[in-house]
């Protein structure tokens, strides 16, 4: 008993002087959040939000023959994203045919798409940002700056542009299969995010012309899915890249 | 290191001659065997990205993983056994699922408040609907927003963000502060408005020094959204630590790095500093238990050793 009292006294002294606490041991432990039960209060709080969302997001808008990812060397997700924009241009801006490159950023694609049914929710998670599709006209010199950035940072993905790189230099640059000409002007279909200099796209500053489609990239993707489904087609992953950047 | 050369000096200093030292020797021996006098349990997340619900069961990468309601259960269970819990987030709470597009972060803040989050710092994506949206959603958050290297004075957030906060946990003083990434080139200018980015290293040093030496904190935690590590010279958690001297733990984010355990690094005066990060989307909940005594014994930190 006395010992216990002394012990308590000791602790009182200690807590009065917390300058003298020292870390003696640090033990980490991460939890995988997977098999725990759902907390009922949290579920209940989220329910009204979820119900409203689900009614929209569970809508199946397309069917994919296999997973589309941007993992490792897989370019299928990037090809899909650029392909939806290219399709939009083909249908709605036919005058640009043969003259435009689609440029998006790999980092902007935020989630993979599974094989099977693709819902509107999947596309929201792939492209959660409210970025709009814009059309820029820029000089051939700026295209070279853009290609150099593609080689250096590996952040941008493209469509209708092909080249190989050797020792950080682009070779055999072609646009729509035709040799690139630095004296020509080209159209770049991209997002307002990149056009405003996002992901260090400084070469898009002060373009020769700038036109906004007023369409969100996400909606371009959703419309593409709906159109495919309407004509009974599936999303077929394209796993080849027109751009080959050596390490 | 203890300011006292040995246990006896320590006892003399406080107890003087009022109680016979012999009795305390036995007691002190008892305590010596009981090294863990106080325990702090730090729980943390980073880059939650509005992932309210678990990934669907057919997700190619993370089937059935994550989910706020599952995390809430885990945290409740931990609180049942641990007295001193700090629950922290290293930014990018917003953006990534339609919950954000539709409700602008309201539900994320509400559920985090229910879980008892103590503090969070800002990630770049927290600005995705602008400064005004953060101001609008803040009433749903009962936790603090900490950042010391963004100057908010010319924005609607002025006066609403603290550089640091000190948490008292059973006599322990824990200082927590936040640092954020350069927003230019990462967030459209019209969204982050007049937030001015200042050097995170300078502010981390000033704030951590203040916490440790002026505010007498026993442990200093940096919530960082700089990113774990880059190939380039861009400032990251890994390049920050060797330029600082008063941080004990960096809870990082931005690069979505899954570190199986904290990485042990060395600060500018040769002391160990831990860097940790738990991926993204609430797939993991991080936990670090810190045990304190008053003897300044050799520090034992569990983690991956890394030479930087």
Residues 6+ apart with CB under 8 A from B295: A22, A24, B2, B7, B10, B32, B35
pLDDT digit string, tens, across residues A182-215:
999 999 999 999 999 988 999 999 999 999 999 9
Structural domain span for residue A223: 57-246
Q: What is the mean pLDDT of chain B?
A: 88
Q: Collapsing DSSP states into helix, strand and coil, what is residue B190?
A: helix
Closest-CA residue in chain B for A199? B185
Output the pLDDT for position A242: 86
Number of domains observed in the structure of chain A: 1
Q: Is residue A72 domain-resident? A: yes
Helices (H) and strands (E) in chain B — how many of each? 9, 15
A85 lies in some domain: yes
Answer yes or no: is A31 within a domain.
no
Q: Nearest by CB to B38, which of A21, A32, A41?
A: A21
Contacts of B31 in chain A (CB under 8 A): 10
List the Cα angle B182/B183/B188 in 5-degree steps: 160
Indicate whether A242 belongs to any domain.
yes
Q: What are phi and psi of B38, to 5 degrees?
A: -135, 150
Query: What is the distance between the alpha carbons of residues A166 and B47, in angstroms, rounded to a whole number?
Result: 36
* Chain A residue whose CA is closest to B277: A30
List CB contacts of A132: < 8 A, sequence separation 6 or more. A191, A192, A212, A213, A214, A215, A216, A217
Please tell me the distance from the alpha carbon of residue A225 to that of residue A233, in angstroms, as a whole number: 9
CA distance A222 to chain B (A): 14
* Chain B residue with the nearest C-alpha to that of A110: B96
The Cα of B256 is separated from the nearest Cα of chain A by a number of Å equal to 12
| Edge-to-edge strand list for the sheet holding A178-179 | A178-179, A169-175, A161-166, A243-245
Average of pLDDT values for B282-307? 81
Q: Comparing C-alpha atoms, which of B299, B307, B302, B308 is closest to residue B262?
A: B302
Please name the member of A25, A27, A42 whose beta carbon is closest to the beta carbon of B69.
A42
Q: What angle (nearest 5°) sits at the alpha carbon of residue A31, between those of residues A28 and A35?
A: 165
Q: What pLDDT score was predicted for residue B307?
A: 46
CB-CB under 8 Å, B38 with A26: no
pLDDT of residue B59: 86
Residue A43 lies in a domain: no
pLDDT, residue B192, reads: 97
**Cα–Cα distance, B284 to B278 (Å, whole number):** 6
d(CA B243, CA B241): 5
What pLDDT shows up at residue B34?
53
**Predicted confidence (pLDDT) per residue in B214-268, tens digit:** 999 999 999 999 999 999 999 999 999 999 999 999 999 999 999 999 999 999 9
CB contacts < 8 A, A to B, total: 223
B59/A42 touch (CB, cutoff 8 Å), yes or no? no
How many Cβ atoms are within 10 Å of A166's Cβ, its own excluded?
Answer: 12
Residues with pLDDT less than 70, chain A: 1-19, 247
pLDDT at position B16: 31
Contact B287 A112 (CB under 8 A): no
Inter-chain touch A25–B27, beta carbons under 8 Å: no
pLDDT tens for B69-123 read: 999 999 999 999 999 999 999 999 999 999 999 999 999 999 999 999 999 999 9
pLDDT of residue A244: 86
Reported confidence tier of residue B4, pLDDT bands at 50, 70, 90: very low
| Distance from C-alpha of B20 to C-alpha of B154, rounded to nearest angstrom | 62
Please tell me what DSSP assigns to residue B19: S
- Give residue A24's pLDDT: 87
The residue of chain A with its CA nearest to that of B281 is A33
User: Looking at beta carbons, which residues of chain A come within 8 Å of B291?
Assistant: 23-27
Answer yes or no: is A24 within a domain: no
Smallest Cβ distance to A57: which of B98, B171, B294? Answer: B98
Structure confidence at residue B297 (pLDDT): 64
Over 90: is that where the pLDDT of B17 sits?
no
Mean pLDDT over residues B36-46, rounded?
A: 92
The region, left, alpha or beta by phi > 0 then psi within -120 to 50, assigned to residue A115 is: beta
pLDDT of residue B14: 33
Chain A interface test: which of B20, B41, B101 (most A C-beta within 10 Å): B101
Q: Where residue A185 sits, what CATH number does that domain have?
A: 3.90.780.10
Partners of residue B128 in chain A, C-beta under 8 Å: 129
DSSP for residue B214:
I
Q: Do B36 and A17 touch (CB under 8 A)?
A: no
Residue-level pLDDT at B9: 37
pLDDT band at B302 (very low <50, low <70, confident <90, very high): confident
Residues from chain A that touch B216, judged by Cβ atoms under 8 A, are 18-19
Of A178, A183, A176, A161, the closest CA to residue A78 belongs to A161
Per DSSP, the three-state class of A123 is helix
Subunit contact B65:A130, Cβ cutoff 8 A:
no
Distance from CA of B308 to the nearest CA of A (A): 21
What pLDDT, on a 0 to 100 scale, did the predictor assign at position A247?
59
Q: How far apart are CA A190 and CA A136, in angstroms?
A: 8
From the list B107, B189, B295, the residue facing A22 with the nearest CB is B295
Average pLDDT over residues B34-48: 88
Q: Please give the DSSP secondary-structure letter assigned to residue B84.
A: S
Domain annotation covers residue A48: no
Q: DSSP for A25-73, please give it.
A: EEEE--EESSSSPPPHHHHHHHHHHHHHHHHHHT-EEEEESS-B--STT
Contacts of B174 (CB under 8 A, 6+ apart): B40, B86, B166, B167, B168, B217, B218, B219, B220, B221
Residue A227 lies in a domain: yes
| Strand partners of residue A179 | A174
């Amino acid at each position: 008993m006395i010992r216990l009292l002394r012990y308590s006294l000791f602790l009182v002294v200690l807590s009065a002087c917390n300058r003298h606490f020292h870390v003696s041991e640090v033990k980490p432990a991460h939890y995988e959040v997977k098999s725990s039960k759902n907390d009922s209060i949290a579920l209940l709080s989220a329910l009204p939000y979820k119900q409203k969302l689900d009614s929209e997001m569970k809508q199946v808008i397309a069917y994919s023959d296999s997973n589309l990812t941007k993992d490792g060397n897989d370019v299928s997700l990037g090809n899909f994203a650029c392909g939806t924009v290219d399709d939009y241009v083909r249908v709605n801006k036919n005058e640009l045919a043969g003259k435009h490159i689609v440029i998006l950023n790999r980092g902007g694609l935020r989630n993979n798409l599974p094989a099977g049914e693709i819902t509107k929710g999947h596309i929201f998670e792939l492209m959660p940002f409210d970025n709009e599709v814009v059309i820029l006209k820029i000089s051939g010199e700026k295209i070279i700056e853009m290609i150099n950035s593609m080689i250096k940072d590996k952040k941008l993905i493209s469509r209708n542009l092909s080249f190989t790189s050797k020792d950080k230099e682009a070779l055999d640059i072609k646009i729509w299969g035709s040799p690139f000409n630095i004296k020509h002007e080209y159209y770049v279909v991209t997002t307002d995010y990149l056009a405003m200099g996002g992901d260090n796209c400084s070469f898009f500053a002060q373009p020769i012309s700038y036109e906004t489609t007023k369409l969100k990239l996400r909606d371009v993707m959703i419309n593409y899915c709906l159109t495919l489904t309407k004509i009974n087609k599936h999303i077929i992953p394209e796993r080849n890249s027109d751009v080959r950047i050596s390490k | 290191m203890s300011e006292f050369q040995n246990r006896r000096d320590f006892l003399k200093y406080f107890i003087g001659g009022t109680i016979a030292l012999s009795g305390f020797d036995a007691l002190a021996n008892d305590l010596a065997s009981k090294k863990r006098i106080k325990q702090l349990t730090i729980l943390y997340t980073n880059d939650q990205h509005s992932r309210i619900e678990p990934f669907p069961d057919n997700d190619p990468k993370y089937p059935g993983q994550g989910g706020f309601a599952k995390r809430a259960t885990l945290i409740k269970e931990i609180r049942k056994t641990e007295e001193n819990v700090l629950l922290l987030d290293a930014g990018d709470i917003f953006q990534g699922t339609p919950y954000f597009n539709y409700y602008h972060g309201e539900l994320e803040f509400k559920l985090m408040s229910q879980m008892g989050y103590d503090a969070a710092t800002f990630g770049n994506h927290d600005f995705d609907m602008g400064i005004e949206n953060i101001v609008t959603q803040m009433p749903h958050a009962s936790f603090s927003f900490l950042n010391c290297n963004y100057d908010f004075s010319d924005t609607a957030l002025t006066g609403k963000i603290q550089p640091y906060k000190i948490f008292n946990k059973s006599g322990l003083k824990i200082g927590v502060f936040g640092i954020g990434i350069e927003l230019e080139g990462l967030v459209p200018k019209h969204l982050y408005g007049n937030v001015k980015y200042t050097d995170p290293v300078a502010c981390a040093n000033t704030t951590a020094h203040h916490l440790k030496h002026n505010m007498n904190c026993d442990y200093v935690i940096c919530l960082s959204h700089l990113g774990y590590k880059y190939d380039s010279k861009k400032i990251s958690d890994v390049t920050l630590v060797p330029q600082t001297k008063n941080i004990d733990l960096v809870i990082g984010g931005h690069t979505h790095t899954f570190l199986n355990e904290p990485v042990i690094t060395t600060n500018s005066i040769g002391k160990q500093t831990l860097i940790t990060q738990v991926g993204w989307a609430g797939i993991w909940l991080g936990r670090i238990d810190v045990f304190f005594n008053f003897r300044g014994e050799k520090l034992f930190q569990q983690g991956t050793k890394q030479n930087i």
